[in-house]
Amino acid sequence: MRRVLIVPPPAAALAVLAALALLAGCGGDRESAAGRDTLVIGVNADGPGLGLRTGNRFEGFDVDVAREIARRLGARDVRFRALRSADREKFLERGTVDLVVATYSITAERKTRVTFAGPYYVAHQDTLVRRGEGRIRDVRDLAGRRLCRVDGSNSWRRVIQQRGVPAEPVPAGNYAECVRMLKAGLVDAVSTDDLILAGLVRGDSSARVVNAPFSDERYGVGLRKGDVAGCEAVNKAITGMYQDGTAAGLLRRWFGPSGLRLTTTVPEFEGCD
Amino acid sequence: MSVLTLAALAALLAFGVSASVGAGDAREALRVIGRDAGPQAVATADLYFTLGDMDAQVANVLLIGGEEGLSREREAALRTYERRRDAASAALLQAADLTGDDPAEQRTVRDVLSGLSRYERLAAEALVLDRRSGHRAGPPPAEVTELYRRATDLMRLELLPKAYNLTLESGALVRRTYEDRRRDVLVARAVSLVAGLLLAGALVALQVYLAARFRRLLNPALALALAGAAVLTAAASGLLGGQAEQLRRARDEGFDHVLALSRARAKGIGVQADQSRFLLDPARRDTYEQAYLDQSQSIVYVPADSLGDYHRAVAGADGSRLLGLVGERVRGRTGEPAVRDVLTGFQGFQRRDRELRHLVRSGRTREAVALRLGASGRAFDRYDGALVSLVTAHRNAFEGAVRTGEARMGPWPYALPVGAVLIGLLVLAGVRPRLAEYR
């Protein structure tokens, strides 16, 4: 039943005014990300295959996912903004960006500052080796082998400290450098999120992912804390992307060539509360 | 005089419309939350639990194999599997009924239904092959493991996420209904209150005017209308305010807890299943141990880098700084016995898990299997039982609030407009003879 308030002047007009005044007290929240004309979305600028800036164009899986979500939310104009990992919570809290789609893993601690829609994909830590490598089949086989160590990343720690695998860490500045070192024979393996690895070796047949995942990295869509309506709308959009095959197409387009085993059905959402 | 009469009738109309609309909103909100999306959210959370337990029981049967000392446990696991399978089919059919006309949700239910029959086929093959091999307690032969991997991947990566998302979607519908309708009810209450006061004001003014103009002390019809307006305004305001409060209680003290704890319960079954999978498939041990840790963290979160850290941190948790589905519900409430039981139950289960991993690391897999099906299983049941009691308490609060709301609704949705019409007739009866004197 849709209600139509018949408004007989002047009593009802007065009454409505009074009611609006009452309501004004609880309507102080900022706008939801759902239903905005323009969306500013924070993405990575230096992640090949995920979010990469060339000139002033952004491209990658995250960027395409962000664009699809924005379209399904009904936004007419989408602007991308590069952000570093350390900026993600800050930018959402200040309203610098409306959404963050940037290999942003959902964690209990982050959930205290950010509302997460999705995940839109569950990545796994996995291992990248040279094409001809036959002895490394899972993370245990890294014992005694040279493993690339990127400072500021937890991935190598997961192997050596959490799993207790005695690999020999070799320092590098970032994962792109790791891949160069792998090809040059300076390290035997690179271990981090499979989508990051697959993005780095896209269209390159000299390295492969071993397909022995050992962690879940739930890539979520970050929203301002408390934007539950926006979060629910993003989840609907992600469900739609998986149901109509859009997500599977994007995954294959960006990561198919790496030989990575991809999951093309909708992930288990975190829930917006 | 005719201006005052018109003002009174206009205020009366505004009152009648807003009060009736508000009562209708409250009734609709109670229906959706109490009878439709609310129960559906809980039913789909139960579906998730049921599906998760199917996979857990298959893992248990395969883990026991032909071990003679555990044949009773094997039979029990098989029976539970069959019971859960039937329950899952029934729950899915019910979910299909309740999804209404949302095409995305209908599609999800269909996908789970067809996935479930694929799962049953794979599980049946694995069970038959395992029976033939007659292996001792522990990992089954490779071809059984391979079949089980396909089954469990289908369950964990496709079916369970979809079932979980159905729960979240119903929960979202409850939230939207609650927020929209409760706001509407409160607006209607404010509007009807102001309109009622304006009506009373107009009636008093009419009375005074008539007394001065026609030297009558009291116009009985108008006096009756004024009394009626006062009663009706107070009744409408009380009704709508009371319904907004019942809606709040149904959600904050009932539904929110029921949904979060039901989700936690469903995830708990996955945690226990990850123990069995860990024992069943040594090549995937790292994956299943990590999944165990991740799922445990989603139930009770304490900062920890590894499972060992987590065991220690959970053992020392006092319930004051917890996150996670259960953690957030028990935080600061451990004074309540029902809440404390859930936390201590979870801690007891994690203690057994620590023992279990220790046995596996020292190569005593058969003992670990016996522990999983014995003391560890019982520890889990104690935790799960405590959780069910807490869910039941909140479910009672939820249903109680919905029932109270429905009972208080009584005849008011009809009485309000009828009362307004009667007052209107009284006003006309009161002023009509006077109007006639003008002519």
What distance in Å separates residue A75's CA from the closest CA in chain B? 21
pLDDT in tens, chain B (439 residues): 778 888 889 999 999 999 999 998 999 888 888 888 888 888 888 899 999 999 999 999 999 998 888 899 999 999 999 999 999 988 888 877 777 778 888 899 999 999 999 999 999 999 999 999 989 889 999 999 999 999 999 999 999 999 999 889 888 888 888 899 999 999 999 999 999 999 999 999 988 888 888 777 788 888 898 999 999 999 999 999 999 999 998 888 888 888 888 889 989 999 999 999 999 999 888 889 989 999 999 999 998 888 999 999 999 888 788 888 888 888 888 888 888 899 999 999 999 999 999 999 999 998 999 999 999 999 999 999 999 999 999 999 999 999 999 898 888 888 888 999 999 999 888 888 776 665 5
What distance in Å separates residue A55's CA from the closest CA in chain B? 38
The answer to whether B297 contacts chain A (CB < 8 Å) is yes
The answer to whether B306 contacts chain A (CB < 8 Å) is yes
What distance in Å separates residue A22's CA from the closest CA in chain B? 8
Among the partner residues B7, B164, B291, nearest to A11 by beta-carbon distance: B7
CB atoms A267 and B10 under 8 Å: no
CB atoms B290 and A216 under 8 Å: yes
CB atoms B186 and A265 under 8 Å: no
Handedness of CA A74, A79, A85, A90 (dihedral sign): negative
> Helix B365-373 and helix B375-409: axis angle, to 10°?
30
- Chain B, 8 to 67: residues with Cβ < 8 Å from chain A are 10-11, 13-14, 17-18, 21, 24-25, 28
- Chain B residues with CB under 8 Å of A245 CB are none
CB atoms B194 and A229 under 8 Å: no
CB atoms B172 and A272 under 8 Å: yes
pLDDT value of residue A204: 80
CB atoms B198 and A268 under 8 Å: no
CA dist B41 and A3 (Å) reads 27
Mean pLDDT of A145-158: 87
The answer to whether B417 contacts chain A (CB < 8 Å) is no
pLDDT value of residue B436: 67
- Chain B, 85 to 114: residues with Cβ < 8 Å from chain A are 104, 107-108
pLDDT value of residue B437: 63
More confident residue, A69 or A208: A69
pLDDT value of residue B430: 85
ipTM of the complex as predicted: 0.84
What distance in Å separates residue B256's CA from the closest CA in chain A? 9
CA dist A172 and A190 (Å) reads 11
- Chain B residues with CB under 8 Å of A6 CB are 13, 17
DSSP A205: T
- Is the pLDDT at A97 greater than 90? The verdict is yes
- Chain B residues with CB under 8 Å of A3 CB are 21, 24-25, 184
CB atoms A269 and B324 under 8 Å: no
Q: For residue A79, what are the β-bridge partners?
A: A40
CA dist B347 and B353 (Å) reads 10
- Chain A residues with CB under 8 Å of B25 CB are 3
Mean pLDDT of A189-209: 89
- Chain B residues with CB under 8 Å of A266 CB are 161-162, 165
Mean pLDDT of A116-144: 91
Most confident region among A9-18, A28-37, A264-273, B251-260 by mean pLDDT: A264-273
Nearest CA in chain A to B29: A1
Q: SS3 for B220? A: helix
Among the partner residues A12, A22, A271, nearest to B10 by beta-carbon distance: A12
What distance in Å separates residue A162's CA from the closest CA in chain B? 6
Q: For residue B41, what are the β-bridge partners?
A: none
* Residues sharing a CB contact under 8 Å with residue B113, sequence separation 6 or more, in sequence order: B92, B96
In order of their start, the domains of chain A are 38-122+218-258 (3.40.190.10), 125-209 (3.40.190.10)
Q: Which residue has the tokens 């201006």?
A: B3
CB atoms B168 and A6 under 8 Å: no
Q: Any idea where the domains of chain B sit in the sequence?
A: 37-175+263-438
Among the partner residues B168, B184, B306, nearest to A271 by beta-carbon distance: B168
Among the partner residues B158, B195, B297, nearest to A15 by beta-carbon distance: B195
Report the candidate in A190, A186, A162, A165 with the shortest Cα–Cα distance to residue A176. A190
pLDDT value of residue A137: 87
pLDDT value of residue A34: 87
Among the partner residues A18, A240, A267, nearest to B161 by beta-carbon distance: A267
Handedness of CA A187, A192, A198, A200 (dihedral sign): negative
CB atoms within 10 A of CB A30: 9
CB atoms B158 and A7 under 8 Å: no
Report the candidate in B206, B23, B7 with the shortest Cα–Cα distance to residue A12. B7
- Is the pLDDT at A19 greater than 70? The verdict is no
B interface mutation test: which of A246, A265, A272 has the most B CBs within 10 A? A265
Query: How many interchain CB pairs under 8 A, A with B?
Result: 127
pLDDT digits (tens, 9 = 90+) for A160-179: 888 889 999 999 988 889 99
A interface mutation test: which of B107, B109, B157 has the most A CBs within 10 A? B157
Nearest CA in chain B to A160: B306
More confident residue, A28 or A184: A184
Distances (CA, A) of B25 to A5, A26, B76, B326: 13, 19, 49, 33
Mean pLDDT of A196-216: 87
